């Protein structure tokens, strides 16, 4: 089963990992989404300390020492800030940071190849990719740049 999304952030000694998965819940007879947080001590020695599921310090019998608790709080705050910095970019169906003619072209591609039953470019969330989604792309002049969060801008500038 693949995660719906997953994010990880690390410092020198620890790694915080968040993921969300959706699976069929037989008891409820519906899909259920589960959000999970893992926190592991890591290093880059040979062999390295791995951040596998058994190393999750948030699960018993593991406990966090003082430094790990500080790192956990710090990484959690940084990841929350990163998630809060996400910018909505209406019309950017291929998520390349620009709304332009490529988005129109690719909306048409997905509409044709799936018989309009695609979630790609379904901006109005009606379950179909079709002409009703086009105004979300064409609502303003091209090209429209979607600003990246500052944390990414800094990492690109050298």
Based on the shown chain and the rule CB under 5 A, indicate whether residue 80 belongs to the binding site for Ca ion: no
Stretch that binds Ca ion, among 26-34, 70-78, 114-122, 140-148 (CB under 5 A): 114-122
Based on the shown chain and the rule CB under 5 A, indicate whether residue 124 belongs to the binding site for Ca ion: yes
The whole-angstrom separation of Cα 95 and Cα 123 is 13
Based on the shown chain and the rule CB under 5 A, indicate whether residue 92 belongs to the binding site for Ca ion: yes
What is the total residue count of the chain? Answer: 158
Q: Does residue 106 contact residue 94 with C-beta atoms inside 8 Å?
A: yes
Based on the shown chain and the rule CB under 5 A, indicate whether residue 134 belongs to the binding site for Ca ion: no
Helix (H, G, I), strand (E, B) or coil at 36: strand
- Closest approach of Ca ion to the CB of residue 88, in Å: 13
Based on the shown chain and the rule CB under 5 A, indicate whether residue 103 belongs to the binding site for Ca ion: yes
Nearer CB in complex with Ca ion: 71/93: 93
Burial of 50-59, coded b for 16+ CB within 10 Å and e otherwise, reads ebeeebebee
Could you tell me whether strands 30-41 and 14-25 are parallel, antiparallel, or unpaired per DSSP bridges?
antiparallel
Which secondary-structure segment (H or E) carries 24?
Answer: strand 14-25
When binding is defined by CB under 5 A, the residue of 133, 134, 136, 137 that contacts Ca ion is: 133
When binding is defined by CB under 5 A, the residue of 36, 62, 68, 94 that contacts Ca ion is: 94
Helices (H) and strands (E) in the chain, counts: 4, 5
Stretch that binds Ca ion, among 4-12, 40-48, 68-76, 119-127 (CB under 5 A): 119-127
- Closest approach of Ca ion to the CB of residue 91, in Å: 7
Given the rule CB under 5 A, which residues bind Ca ion? 92, 94, 96, 98, 103, 122, 124, 126, 128, 133
């Amino acid at each position: 089963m693949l995660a719906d999304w997953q994010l990880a952030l690390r410092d020198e000694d620890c790694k915080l990992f968040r993921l969300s998965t959706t699976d069929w819940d037989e008891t409820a007879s519906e899909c259920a989404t589960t959000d999970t947080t893992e926190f592991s001590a890591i290093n880059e020695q040979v062999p390295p300390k791995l951040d596998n599921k058994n190393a999750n310090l948030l699960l018993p019998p593991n406990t966090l020492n003082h430094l790990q608790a500080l790192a956990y709080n710090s990484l959690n705050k940084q990841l929350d800030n990163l998630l809060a910095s996400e910018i909505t970019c209406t019309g950017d169906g291929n998520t390349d940071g620009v709304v332009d003619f490529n988005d129109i072209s690719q909306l048409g591609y997905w509409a044709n190849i799936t018989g309009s039953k695609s979630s790609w470019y379904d901006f109005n969330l009606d379950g179909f990719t079709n002409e009703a989604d086009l105004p979300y792309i064409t609502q303003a002049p091209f090209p429209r740049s979607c600003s990246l969060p500052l944390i990414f801008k800094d990492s690109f500038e050298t």
